[in-house]
Structure 1
């Protein structure tokens, strides 16, 4: 498969923690995928200022937001991996989505999106994914419904070095990525 046939995917991580399991999952994804994708890391949620309508009105969009919006518009899809905070989407990720969704030619509209979550708890971030799906529906994104990747408890799936070592979990991620490639290609023109 040539690079021209590969699908471009922007990755977004909902965590800024140094030893984030969600960031570790995103690092593992290229090695698990069947070579269908070229992954590009999007802006860190830590680099995006808190949304402020006055700031938008007076100064326009921050450069980090404009850059990320352009990256998403040009990509074939978006992969979001995030922990669950208080039964929902982390504030930093929600803030990033709020900013990007306000840019002209809203980048998430009709964009294929894949969700993944990792948590130290047994439920693996399932409630966060539920809320994130609701947000993406409002943004008119095309979220892959199944298979889902909801990983928990993280400490039993990743090594102390942050490598995804659990074979059934790696296989679940591989199957989801293969389905995402088909999901995107089915929606491509021509």
Structure 2
């Protein structure tokens, strides 16, 4: 038995949260696995908008430096949440009675990584639609962006289907699941030479 919500519910959560968070304070009303998905999605949402600020021609050096530090922190939190999602799947697989799968094939990316990619796609779809529907844009702009929206929708559907297949295979013991540790070095004061040298 697969205890995870269908991928269609995960992607709907991501799409709905993007729209809500542009009009309302960020909130996470979900429980269990969906709570983790929403939390991970929040870090991508915050990252997306900090990246916009970092590229603003009106941002001065001090502002960009502050945004860069924020981006580093958010990216670390985003990757930590990918691991937590995959760790939660490990627990759910054990609870579902899925035994040792170490001899089975493994996917090129984890379910958590695919959920992260779908989160980014939800953000991309929202902001492309926003650009497509700008009242100050000309027809060429709207046509170009509209074509990109259609392509993103196809890619979103493809990845959603692939993730659902992967999850089904994991719980049917047809594929192996692992949490791949991100092992980021830049935020670790013992591994980033620019940090540990500055402390000497």
Q: Who wins on radius of gyration, i.e. which is larger?
A: 2
The two structures share one fold, judged by TM-score above 0.5: no
Higher RCO structure (Cα 8 Å, ≥6 apart): 2
Alignment TM-score, normalising by the size of structure 2? 0.33
Structure holding more strand per residue: 1
Alignment TM-score, normalising by the size of structure 1? 0.34
